[in-house]
Amino acid sequence: MDIDNLMDMYGDEVLHICMYFLKNQHDAEDAFQEIFVKIYKKGHTFRSQSSIKTWITSIAINTCKDILKSSWRRNVIEFSTIKEAGDHYYDEKKSEDEVYDTLQELPDIYKEVVYLKYYKEMTAKEIAKVLGISVAAVNSRLYRAKEELAIIFNEKGLGVNG
């Protein structure tokens, strides 16, 4: 595996994942380097059962999670937009801050799948591979996240249009 080529192809996405999880440019850059060192060292373990993108994304997410655990930081996930939440669409007038604040109220287990599904536009199968869970678990978490989002939006008076 040519690490320079992989950095050119996936570097921006990996850095975005790092910023998303770590919320700090310095930490994100450190994580970025750590991730590509792991990719270089573990390149021989890649199996074409999944795409290289899925494999790299998995390494990036797991590395960021490890960093957050080791430094006792809270996992605050930033969503700049949300394209949809289940079968419900939210008024375009809702501010990005309201959506962001509401998403922060979801348990981390749901934030991950919502981020990967709606922000990274991954399929349930890809998410399952990245997180090391079954497709059924992904779908279950997405369903529960959508239910919780609808409840939270309604409680905040933000309204859900069905």
Using one digit for the tens of pLDDT, what is the confidence trace for 20-39?
888 888 888 889 999 999 99
Q: The tokens of 87 are what?
A: 């079968």
Q: Give the residue-averaged pLDDT of 37-46.
A: 86
CA 111, CA 91: separation in Å to the nearest integer?
Answer: 21
pLDDT in tens, 51-75: 888 899 989 999 988 888 774 444 3
| pLDDT surpasses 80 at 12 | yes
| 56 contacts 120 by C-beta, under 8 angstroms | no
Q: What is the pLDDT of residue 83?
A: 43
Domains of the chain in sequence order: 3-70 (1.10.1740.10), 96-155 (1.10.10.10)
Q: The tokens of 24 are what?
A: 């700090």
80-84, 88-92, 102-106 — which is least confidently predicted? Answer: 80-84
CA 56, CA 149: separation in Å to the nearest integer?
Answer: 29
